[in-house]
Amino acid sequence: MAEDTLIEEDRYELDKETVDAIVEAAEAGDAGGLSQLMDPLHAADIADVLEQVDLDERQSILKLFEPEFDGEILSEIDDSIRDQVIEMLSPEVLGEAVRELESDDVVDIVEDLDAPQQEAVLEALEDSDRAVVEQALSYPEFSAGRLMQREIVAGPEHWTVGEAIDYMRARDDLPEDFYHMILVDPRYRPTGYVTLGKILGHKRDVKLAGITEDSFRTIEAMEDEAEVAYAFNQYHLISAPVVDENGRLVGVITIDDAMVVLDEEHEEDILRLAGVGEESSLADKVIATTKRRFPWLAVNLATAVLASLVIAIYEDAIAQIVALAVLMPIVASMGGNAGTQSLTVAVRAIATKDLTGANVWRVIRREALVGLVNGVLFAVVMGVVGVIWFGSVMLGVVIAVAMVINLVVAGLAGTVIPVTLERLRIDPALASGAFVTTVTDVVGFFAFLGLAAAVLI
Question: How is 261-315 classified by DSSP, letter by letter?
Answer: HHHHHHHHHHHHHHTS-TT--TT--HHHHHHHHHHHHHHHHHHHHHHHHHHHHTH
Any bridge partners for residue 44, and if so which?
none
The answer to whether residue 3 scores a pLDDT higher than 70 is no
- Which of the pair, 181 or 350, is modelled with greater confidence? 181
Same domain? 127 vs 158: no
Please indicate whether residue 166 or residue 15 has the higher confidence score (pLDDT).
Answer: 166
Long-range Cβ pairs for the range 75-78 (8 Å, 24+): 75/43, 75/101, 75/105, 75/108, 75/109, 76/43, 76/44, 76/46, 76/47, 77/47, 77/50, 77/51, 78/47, 78/51, 78/281, 78/283
Q: What is the pLDDT of residue 110?
A: 85
Q: What pLDDT, on the 0 to 100 scale, is given for residue 336?
A: 87
* 62-91 pLDDT tens trace: 999 988 898 889 888 887 788 888 888 888
Nearest one of 136, 138, 122, 105 to 256, comparing CA atoms:
105
Q: Are residues 84 and 125 in the same domain?
A: yes
CATH for 363: 1.10.357.20
Q: Is the pLDDT of residue 1 over 50?
A: no
Q: How many CB atoms lie within 10 A of CB 69?
A: 21
**3-class SS of residue 355:** coil
Percent of the chain with pLDDT over 70: 91
Q: Are 448 and 335 within one domain?
A: yes
Strand 239-243, strand 180-184: pairing: unpaired
pLDDT digit string (tens) for 90-144? Answer: 888 888 888 888 888 888 888 877 788 788 888 888 888 888 888 888 899 889 9
CA 78 – CA 83 distance, rounded (Å): 10
- Residue 2 pLDDT more than 60? no
218: three-class secondary structure by DSSP: coil
* Domain count across the chain: 3
Largest CA distance in the chain: 93
- 432 & 317 share domain: yes
More confident residue, 99 or 271: 99
Evaluate whether 34 touches 64 at the Cβ level (below 8 Å): yes
User: Which of 274, 304, 320 is the last residue in one of the domains?
Assistant: 274
Confirm whether 144 is domain-assigned: no
Angle at 139 between CA 138 and CA 142, to 5 degrees: 135
Residue 166 reports pLDDT greater than 90: yes
Q: What is the pLDDT of residue 383?
A: 86
Q: Is 188 left (phi over 0), alpha (psi -120 to 50) or beta?
A: left
The pLDDT-based confidence of 38 (bands split at 50, 70, 90) is very high
Supply the angle between the helices 79-88 and 115-123 in degrees, to the nearest 10.
Answer: 60
**Pick from 46, 234, 262: nearest CA to 147:** 262
Q: pLDDT tens for residues 409-451?
A: 999 999 999 999 888 888 787 667 878 888 998 999 989 999 9
- For the stretch 255-269, pLDDT in tens is 988 988 887 776 676
The reply to whether 327 falls in a domain is: yes
Q: What is the CATH number of the domain that holds 23?
A: 1.25.60.10
Q: How far apart are CA 376 and CA 354, in angstroms?
A: 29
Asked if residue 329 and residue 223 are part of one domain, the reply reads: no
Report the amino acid identity of residue 10: D
In the listed set 274, 301, 317, which residue is the last one of a domain according to the structure?
274
Rounded Cα distance, 351 and 266, in Å: 8
Asked whether residue 265 falls in the same domain as residue 292, the answer is no
Query: Is residue 7 very low, low, confident or very high in pLDDT (cuts 50, 70, 90)?
Result: very low
Residue among 309, 291, 298 at smallest CA distance from 449: 309
Q: What are phi and psi of 440, to 5 degrees?
A: -70, -35
Q: Judge if pTM exceeds 0.95.
A: no
Residue 89 pLDDT: 87
Closest CA to 182 of 248, 101, 246: 248
Q: Are 197 and 210 in contact (CB under 8 A)?
A: no
Q: Quote the CA–CA distance of 283 and 187 in Å, as a whole number.
A: 49
Mean of the per-residue pLDDT values of the chain? 86
- Give the structural domain span for 115: 16-138
Judgement on whether residues 96 and 203 belong to the same structural domain of the protein: no
**172 - beta bridge partners?**
none
For residue 94, what are the contacts with CB-CB under 8 A and spacing of at least 6?
A: 86, 120, 121, 124
Q: Distance between CA atoms of 214 and 348, rounded to whole angstroms?
A: 29
193-211 per-position pLDDT tens digit: 999 999 999 999 999 999 9
Do the Cβ atoms of 413 and 339 come closer than 8 Å? yes
231 and 353 co-located in one domain: no
Q: List, in sequence order, every beta strand (DSSP E) within 196-274.
A: 219-220, 239-243, 249-254
- Which CATH number belongs to the domain containing residue 173 in this structure? 3.10.580.10
**Which of 274, 301, 331 is the endpoint of a domain?**
274
The predicted-structure confidence for 279-302, as pLDDT tens digits, reads as follows 555 556 677 667 766 776 777 788
Q: How confident is the model at residue 241 (pLDDT cuts 50, 70, 90)?
A: very high
Q: Which residues pair with 207 in a beta bridge?
A: 160
Q: Is residue 358 part of a domain?
A: yes
pLDDT band at 158 (very low <50, low <70, confident <90, very high): very high
Cα 78 off chain centre by:
13
pLDDT of residue 277: 57
CA distance 180 to 200: 12
Q: Are residues 131 and 49 part of one domain? A: yes
266 plus 390 within the same structural domain: no
For residue range 352-363, list pLDDT tens digits in order: 788 888 889 999
Q: How confident is the model at residue 272 (pLDDT cuts 50, 70, 90)?
A: low
Q: Evaluate whether residue 6 is within a structural domain.
A: no
In this structure, the answer to whether residues 427 and 354 fall within a common structural domain is yes
Residues 184-191, mean pLDDT to the nearest whole number: 96
Q: Which residue type, as a one-letter code, is found at position 162?
A: G
More confident residue, 444 or 278: 444
Instruction: Mark whether 117 and 160 lie in a shared domain.
Output: no
